[in-house]
Each structure stands twice: as structure tokens, then as C-alpha cells.
Structure 1
Amino acid sequence: MTTQTELLTDLMQRLDAPAARYADLDRYYTGKQPLAFLSPEAKTALGNRFGVMASNIPRLSVTALAERLRITGFSGDAELWADWVRNDLDQTSGVAHREALLLGDSYVIVWADQFGNPNVTVESAKQVAVLTDPGTRQTVAAVKRWEDTRAKTTEAVMYLPDRIIRLRANQAGATSTGFQTVDEIANPLGVVPVVNLRNTDRIIGDWGSSEIDDLKPLVDALNKSLADMMVTSEYVGRPRRWATGIELTEEPVLDDDGNPVLDEDDQPVMTEVNPIPEGNRAMISENDAAKFGQLAAADLAGYEASVRVILGQIMAVSTLPAHYVGVFTDNPASADALRAAEASLTARAEARQATFGRAWEQVARLIVAVRDGRDPNLIDDIRVQWADAATRSVAQEADAVVKLYSAGLLPASYALGKLGYSDDQIAEIRTARTQDSPTSTTGVGVGA
């Protein structure tokens, strides 16, 4: 029999295990990862004179998918969408998607507020972890941990199928030790009210996978090519000039305060300098034997070819179309061409809809269970509805939907949903049409 202390230790260890990986993914997402593939000599030569050079493809790959994961409603419960909007999930569900696409996991906690209404919060994998049964793959325990910076304590809540335990450690940064039980309440739901949104297309694995895992080495290579191009542009991209037959001048070496540096004999240390300032556009010499010339500028075309090759690999791995990553080809000439160019990205987004949809349906069942006092295991008729993941031509889509509705193949509510309207927007349209033209029978009606 696992004790509460052992269970808490297992949960805390699982919470801390991927911390280094999450920090690395965060650096790539924010474009603050260090330059890779640089030789020690190059690092020494550049020193601190080179700024941050990062093409933030990882953020683009995450947001390009997340913007296509938009929940528009649920079937099976007429009041569910109102609870969804009241908890701001029409906005924060997108945050959960981005978090899961980046880190591999995100979480949603469902409980009741002081009035008994469902209270739903989106949580980061940096603060929440779950344990699952290997046989049933059901969540058997979960924990959320955070620091209270004002009280200098570490707070935690452990979620079990039969009870919820509030814990506290009187120190900041506590991991798995030093926690004492502050409060304990019964869990009438009978299940752990924590849902895991896992970004994975495999069954086996302790954690979800990040969309940028495969992109990291390619992004490092891209940033290296861009950095080399910038360094080359700085040093040899501008044509270098040369001159012969001109005597160099001597100037004293000055210290930080502007005073001459003296040698052992108290004589100023002198250095030879170019008599023609670097910024001068004209070079003049009194020596009739002096000669001037200019070296050829560096050709940066090789770097452009390198960038194109790497971007091609990035497009293949991430399914980002060419016009997303800045490849200079002809833009899609029509809406159909645009949809074709984004077909792979759309297919990946639809796969993520199927993956996350099961988790959101579990969240919806918990919302209904809290609201109505029902057993969440007996609620099985709720289905999530997603907006079309493809880039749509509004005119073409509207024309097709109106034709299907006019032919009697689609009811009005479904037709409006096909056009991208959410459940609450459809309700507002129905009310407005009833008030404005209660006898109207033309167009996409509201009675079907």
C-alpha cells in the first residue's frame, strides 16, 4: 500500500524530472538559445561583440498549429458553452494548446468555486504532474506546486480520486520534502479532476513530445549560417581598400583616462597607425609613388544557398509552407492554391484536434459533473466541435454552405457552424433574426 508521503515523493519527482528539458525548449521558443556549431576560435574572435542572432522558427511552428486549433462548441449539453465562456476557456484553451505543443504537456484542473459553479483553470507542465495507471492509463494522482513569494513558502495541492490535500512547506524552493498537510477535503467526483493535454501520436511514453524537438538542430544550423553571413558582411562584405608607398604615422598609446602610456624609461609608448582615416571616401598622398586599390567584396550568395537548403529541411520537418518561412517563391495565386500549399500543415492540425479533443471532452464531462452533481464516468454523449483547420476562402465557403442549405441538406444551425460561428454567436444570430425579421424565410434561416 503506497503511503501519502511516498505518493507525494513520486509526484514531485515526476514534476522535477523534465525541468531542464522545459528550460531548453523555452530558450528556443523565445529565440534565446546560444549559437551552436561555432568553433572555439570563432567564439574567441567574436568575443562579446556579436549580438543575438536567432531566426525564431520554433515559435512560428507552434503558433502556426495553435491558431488552427479553435474550439467552437460542444454537442450533448446545451448549457456547456456558457460554462466554457464563463471560465474564459474560449481564450485560455489556446494557451493550453500552445503550452502542450511547446512542452509536450499541459493540464486543466476542474473544481467548484464558492458558489458551486464549475471553476476551470489551464495549468503549465512546470507546475503540474500526474501519475497514471499502467494498465488502464487513467490518472490516479496529480499534484500542483507553486511558490508564495510573499510568505516565502512552497504550496502544493495533491489530487486523489477520493480526496484533495492542501500541503505547505515553510521554505521557498521545496521539492519533495518538508511538506505538511494544511487541509484535506473529500472529492465527490470519484476521479482525479486534472486532465492532461498530451501532444503525442504514440501510446508509449512518460511525457508528450514538443513540436520543436526535431527543429532544434535545424534551427541551430540556420542561425549559424545567418551568423556567418552577418560576420562576413561586417568584415569583408564592404570592399576593402589598400595603399602602398605611404609612410605610416605614429601616435602615442593612451590609457582609459586619455593619458599617454609610458615605458620603463618614462617615454611615451608609440604605435603606428594608418594615416588615412577609415571613414574617408578620398585618399590623398604627397608621395608620387603611392598606389591605391580596392579588394573585391565578398560574395554572400553561398550563404543564401545554405539558408535555402536548411529552410527546405525545416519545411519538411515542420510542415510549414514556403510562404510561412520566407522562402522567396511565387505566392499562391488563388485560395485553392493556398489550401494546397498548406495541406500538410492542415493535416497535422487536424491530427492535433483529434489528440486534444479527447482531453477537452474529459474536461467537459467534469464541468457537467460539477455543475449537475453527476458521475463523470456516466457522461458519454459530449463531443467537441472544432473550427476548420484549413485556410478558408470566405466567399467560396459561404457559397457552398448556402447551396447545401437551400437544397435542404443542412439545418441552419449546422450551416452557421460550418461558416465558423461559435455556439453563442449562433444563438445571438438566431435572436437578432427573430427580432429583426421574424417572418423572413430567405437566406440561411434560423428555424431549422
Structure 2
Amino acid sequence: MSDILTTLIQRLDENTGKFSRLDRYYTGQPPLAFLAPEAKEALGNRFGVLGSNLCRLAVTALSERLRVTGFTGADVWADWIRNDLDQLAPVAHREALTLGSAFVIVWADEQGRPTITVEDARQVAVIRDPASREIVAGVKRWTDATHTHAVLYGPDTIVRYRAQGTDAASGYAVMETLENPLGVVPVVELVNTDRLNAPGMSEMRDLLPLQDSLNKLLADLMVGSEYYARPRRWATGVELVEDEDGEVANPFPENNRMMISEDPASKFGSLPAADLSAYDAAIKVVVQQMQALSGLPDHYVGISASQPPSADALRAAEASLTARAEQRQQIFGRAWEQVARLVVAVRTGVDPSTVDVRITWADPATRSIAQEADAVVKLYTAGLLPATYALKRLGYGDDEIAEIRAASRTEAVDRAAAGLVGQVAA
């Protein structure tokens, strides 16, 4: 086994614990941290994993605003659609925002057509040149029922390995070696980072301790509502009873609606219910901190006013979230442009570095359709925007624009033909 393969396999293994922890928070199954043993005993198994999963909301709120609408400079949209990237690109964005990284591998199928696959960061690792920060080697590892497979991607060769067992860390044997005509590693990483040399960071990283605090407060609220929010009854001057084991027991079970006693000196009463408003205030403080770190507006976390907000008010409230989405577009856009270059290189055989391509994104801001359409129509009528660009401003993708233009041409031909028929008849 080569030294590069060993290094890459070790990188995959060392991130297993971190990715497993992030997965638990994304799926809403984090441990109940900060919870006292007495509260855990009181909860028992009745509430299970209790929490409000704002970590996942922080990821999905960003990813739903990252929609690729096309590319300029190179014709790659047909390959994009054929490889289901219109559906899988959002998955790649969610993976990168959750785990810090996601990967895309570009190669050719049996007919020589480009294939684009979105890969999990738990299966793929790369090595970068410390000077240029370009990927110089990559590996994908997966297991089946009996073997562990690995593919080592280099700029010159692609080597397939296989090892016995489903958890092999060594013992890989070379199964196949292929030439790499692209001259570059066909692995692209979507890194969720805003720094040059920092590794990808999960969008949930800063929210994890606050999510633990929120879950703890919600669990405390449930314990308080179970044991202290209901008024508790008390009685004095009542003879206690013993059970079969000789233990003293309450003569009045909890489900009894009436308590009676023959002793005239007996007294009955009830304790006041506990006020749980303090939990509400504490939960709001934690949620506000999570909003400050994630950019989530009030209406995303269930804080609503009596009067529904207007479209302009919504845009203003979502300004921070929109800015974060625009920043992710810039970060992920470079990776998708590299994918487009590799697609062109696979299809035509050119050097990927010579391909000039730019990605286009849908507007991440919440739009009022009527206001947006009115503004675009005015710009188009004034001659400031061509029809194609006006349709892009309205959020249509390249394939939709092509269909619209084809339909418009067909209708124009039909109208012209109808006019000729009318002239002949006259």
C-alpha cells in the first residue's frame, strides 16, 4: 500500500468521531448535556431525546437559498441535468454545511460522457499542495458485504484497491490502474470556510453548546411540568397505611379525586403550582443567542407577531441570512466552476485550466413575485435588459429559458402563418 493511500485512509479514520457527533445533532439526537442526575431519573424513558433542533434549521435555512441556475462561458447544463445535479447539488450544499466539506468526482462513463457524482466526506479525503492549495491526491473508500474498496485519484493515474473485510485499515491490493488523461485530480471539494488555509467547519459548530443548553432547559421544563406545575394535595391527621411488604404508603392515590377521613381533626389542602415562566425567559435568551450566531430571523424560530409582516419587513428580517447565503455562493461557486471545467475536459479533451466558465445563482433573498416582476418588466421595456437576462432575474434556469424561448418562437410562427392565411382569404 502506497504512503499516499495510507495518509488518506488515516485522514478518513481520524474524522469519524467528529462526523458522528455532527450527525447526531443534525438528526436531532444529541446527548442530554448539562442535565442533573436527579432530572434524568425523573425523566426516565418517557421523554426520550428531547430538544428543538435549531442546528438542522440553521443548515437547511442556508441550503435552501443556494440554487444553481446555470453556467456561462461553457455549455455544461445538459451534462448537469443528465447527472441529476439539479437535485443533487442541494444535497452537496447540505453535506458541506453540516460536516464542513462535501466532494464531487468527475469522470467518464462507458460512452465517454462526463459523469458527476456527489460524495460524502466520510468516504472521501484529499491532500492539498501547501503552496498552491490545489488538490494533488484524493481517495474514496467504501465497503460492501465482504470487502473494503478504495480508489486513489492522482493527476496521472487512477488506482483501484481492495482489501479483505469490511473494516480494513491495511492490506490493500492493487486491482486496476488507469491513466488519467485530464492531468489533474478529478476530485473537487466544497469547503465551508471563509479563511484561506482553515479546514471546512460545520455551520453548526458554534451552535452545539447552545443547542445543549436549549435541550437542557426544555427537559427541565418538562420535569417541572410533570412534578411541580400540578397543584399537590396534602393532608394531616390521617392514619397512614402499609402495603404487603410493610412499607408505609400514601392512603390517597394520586388518581383519587376525593379524600375522606373519619378523624374530625384531619385537615386537607393543596400546594400552589410552580410558576414555569422562568424557563420561558431562559429559553428565549438561548434562542436569541442562536439567532445571533446563525442569522435566523424571528419567524424562522417560531417567534411571530400578531400582525403578519410585509414583504419588505421579511426581506429586512432575513438580511443577515441572505448575506450568509451570498457568501456561501462565492465559496461553493469556485468548486462548481472547477466541476464545470472538468466536465468540458472529459467531453472535449482540452486542458481544464483553459476553460473559462462562470456559475450563476438564483437570488437568495426572499422575493415578492409581483414587485420583482414589475421591476424586471420596467427594465426590459426601457431596453436596459434583454429578454434572456430578464428571465434569469425572475429566477428561471437555463433549461426553462430555452423552453420559454422555443415556445415564443413557435407562437410567433403560428401568428405569422395565421396572418398569411387571412391575407390569402381576403
**TM-score, normalised to structure 2's length?**
0.95
SS in structure 2 at match of 1:299: coil
Q: Are 1:87 and 2:83 an aligned pair?
A: yes
Which string of whole-angstrom CA distances, capped at 9 and with x for unpartnered residues, describes residues 403-437 of structure 1? 00000000001000100000001111111222234
Aligned match for 1:224, one of 212, 216, 226? 216
Cα offset, 1:47, TM superposition: 4.5
Compute the RMSD of aligned alpha carbons: 1.6
Correspondence list, 1:39-438, <5 A: 39-77=36-74, 79-149=75-145, 152-175=146-169, 177-205=170-198, 207-252=199-244, 269-330=245-306, 333-380=309-356, 382-438=357-413
CA distance in 1 between counterparts of 2:30 and 2:89 reads 27
Q: Is the 8 A contact 1:117 1:370 kept in 2?
A: yes
Letter aligned with residue 384 of structure 2: L
Cα offset, 1:18, TM superposition: 1.4
SS in structure 1 at match of 2:152: strand
Which string of whole-angstrom CA distances, capped at 9 and with x for unpartnered residues, describes residues 345-381 of structure 1? 000000000000000000001011111111101112x
CA distance in 2 between counterparts of 1:368 and 1:426 reads 22
Q: Is the 8 A contact 1:332 1:338 kept in 2?
A: no
Cα offset, 1:338, TM superposition: 0.2
Cα offset, 1:280, TM superposition: 2.1
Q: Is the 8 A contact 1:368 1:374 kept in 2?
A: yes
Q: Is the 8 A contact 1:72 1:421 kept in 2?
A: yes
Cα offset, 1:192, TM superposition: 0.2
SS in structure 1 at match of 2:205: coil
Larger mean CA deviation between 7-16 and 162-171 belongs to 7-16
Q: Are 1:12 and 2:9 an aligned pair?
A: yes
Q: 1:6 to 1:318 in 2, by over 3 A?
A: same
Letter aligned with residue 301 of structure 1: S
Cα offset, 1:282, TM superposition: 2.3
CA distance in 2 between counterparts of 1:32 and 1:439 reads 60
SS in structure 2 at match of 1:84: helix
- Report how many aligned residue pairs link the two structures: 416
CA distance in 2 between counterparts of 1:23 and 1:406 reads 55
SS in structure 1 at match of 2:243: strand
Q: 1:438 to 1:286 in 2, by over 3 A?
A: farther
Q: Is the 8 A contact 1:242 1:295 kept in 2?
A: yes
CA distance in 2 between counterparts of 1:60 and 1:53 reads 16
Percent sequence identity is 62
Q: Is the 8 A contact 1:308 1:327 kept in 2?
A: no
Correspondence list, 1:29-48, <5 A: 29-48=26-45
Which string of whole-angstrom CA distances, capped at 9 and with x for unpartnered residues, describes residues 138-176 of structure 1? 110000000012xx100000000001000000121112x
SS in structure 2 at match of 1:214: helix
SS in structure 2 at match of 1:333: coil
Q: 1:439 to 1:305 in 2, by over 3 A?
A: same
SS in structure 1 at match of 2:125: strand
Q: 1:301 to 1:430 in 2, by over 3 A?
A: same
**TM-score, normalised to structure 1's length?**
0.90
Larger mean CA deviation between 365-374 and 43-52 belongs to 43-52
Which string of whole-angstrom CA distances, capped at 9 and with x for unpartnered residues, describes residues 381-412 of structure 1? x1101000000000000000000000000000
Letter aligned with residue 66 of structure 1: S
CA distance in 2 between counterparts of 1:403 and 1:438 reads 26
Letter aligned with residue 395 of structure 2: G
Larger mean CA deviation between 323-332 and 100-109 belongs to 323-332
SS in structure 1 at match of 2:182: coil
Which string of whole-angstrom CA distances, capped at 9 and with x for unpartnered residues, describes residues 42-65 of structure 1? 445544454211110111000000
CA distance in 2 between counterparts of 1:438 and 1:235 reads 77
Cα offset, 1:331, TM superposition: 5.9
Structure 2: where are the runs of 5+ without partners?
417-426
Structure 1: where are the runs of 5+ without partners?
253-268, 442-448
